[in-house]
Structure 1
Amino acid sequence: MDFDFTPFPVLETERLTLRALNLNDAKSIFGLRTNKEVNEFIDRKTPRNLSEARAFIDRISKLTSANKGVFWVLESKSNHQLVGTIGLRNFEDEEDYAELGYEIDPSYQQKGFMSEAFDVVLEYGFNQMELKTIEAFTHKNNTASIALLEKQKFVFEPEIKDEGFENNISYRLKA
């Protein structure tokens, strides 16, 4: 599986533009990645300042330019605010596989924004990237994330473990 994310694949939905992350997003990314509600079920190091948010953006940009992952900002078409992120990474050639990760600002939750983003990202992953399997790990108590995955027809895989994250469970969608 050789991917080329140049030019960056901008995706559109009715209410969102899914675009590349850039340094102008540092303040919004800092706010999203330090939000207690967003991080309730995510085990990750939160940035302590804007400099660390910029370093995260730099890491994501390098990952994308090396074609090792693709990470979209969910930008509201109505107010041009960054409302969340979604991305595909951890590609595995043998299985034509990618892992899906996502997060959304609490003020935009339960309004269908992430479902819109899922629709275009899954279409891109299966049709443009020719993936056969997309997997998402979520915390076993994150009922909103589980409901979203099930709505998108992902199937719970109880035997799959997320190494190093004992509270995460796996959901997979096959092409």
Structure 2
Amino acid sequence: MSTVKLASKRLLLKALSLNELVHINNGEMNSSELHIEPEAMSDTALLAIAKKIKKMQGVHEDNHNWYTYWLIIDKKTEKGIGFIGFKGLPDENGYSEVGYSISPNYRKKGLMTEALRTLMVWASEPPSCKAIVANVLKTNIGSIKVLSNCTFQLVNSNELENSYLHNF
């Protein structure tokens, strides 16, 4: 798999290889070419990385970009500040679920909105992807704002979380 990088005004998104995810999972993130801010490594992000490693081991390498995390890199500092990615290839309806996290040091600056918009452009290119879904805890006001900024529509809700959809 060749490394895919996407760019926006302030960010680079780098699709992480299976090997890079393993390094991060083993706490070796700064021993490789990856320089990730420690605050970006939340327990939730580490748990998600472990899940992604297992999923990626079971799919063809050509599909890894749909299963991996993309490292969100601040162009100014050249440090990884968060992660964004899909939970797999688009399903039979053409939907793929997105998830993301960012270091608390970089929140409320529009960076996650910028990262999501950048990844949305990439995801809209293959005709198999018709929409992106996101499931967010109702208490996660920051994520809800990001989805609103990226024109996601609320499509379902239960007592704990909201489900959002963005059609292409």
TM-score of the superposition, structure 1-length normalised?
Answer: 0.72
- The structure-2 alpha-carbon separation of the partners of 1:71 and 1:9, relative to structure 1 and needing over 3 Å to count, comes to same
- The structure-2 alpha-carbon separation of the partners of 1:129 and 1:101, relative to structure 1 and needing over 3 Å to count, comes to farther
| Identity, % of aligned positions | 26
Give the CA deviation at 1:34: 2.9
How many pairs align? Answer: 152
- The structure-2 alpha-carbon separation of the partners of 1:57 and 1:100, relative to structure 1 and needing over 3 Å to count, comes to closer
- The structure-2 alpha-carbon separation of the partners of 1:81 and 1:134, relative to structure 1 and needing over 3 Å to count, comes to same
- RMSD between superposed Cα atoms in Å: 3.0
Give the CA deviation at 1:117: 0.8
SS in structure 1 opposite 2:156?
Answer: coil
Q: Distance in 2 between matches of 1:92 and 1:19?
A: 20
Q: Does 1:32 align with 2:40?
A: yes
Specify the code of the residue in structure 2 equivalent to 1:146.
I
Moved more, 83-92 or 101-110: 83-92
Q: Distance in 1 between matches of 2:76 and 2:52?
A: 24
Give the CA deviation at 1:174: 0.7
Any unmatched runs of 5+ in structure 2? 31-35
Any unmatched runs of 5+ in structure 1? 1-5, 48-52
Structure 1 partner of 2:139: 141
- The structure-2 alpha-carbon separation of the partners of 1:92 and 1:15, relative to structure 1 and needing over 3 Å to count, comes to closer
TM-score of the superposition, structure 2-length normalised?
Answer: 0.74
Q: Does 1:170 align with 2:166?
A: no
Specify the code of the residue in structure 2 equivalent to 1:170.
S
Q: Can you list the C-alpha shifts for 1:113-139, whole angstroms capped at 9, x where unaligned? A: 111111111011112464111001111
Specify the code of the residue in structure 1 equivalent to 2:61.
S
Matches of residues 20-169 of structure 1 in structure 2 within 5 Å?
20-21=15-16, 22=20, 23=23, 26=29, 28=36, 31-34=39-42, 46=47, 58-59=53-54, 62=57, 65=61, 67=63, 69-128=67-126, 130-158=128-156, 167-169=160-162
Q: Distance in 1 between matches of 2:55 and 2:74?
A: 21
Q: Distance in 1 between matches of 2:149 and 2:119?
A: 15
Q: Distance in 2 between matches of 1:65 and 1:151?
A: 32
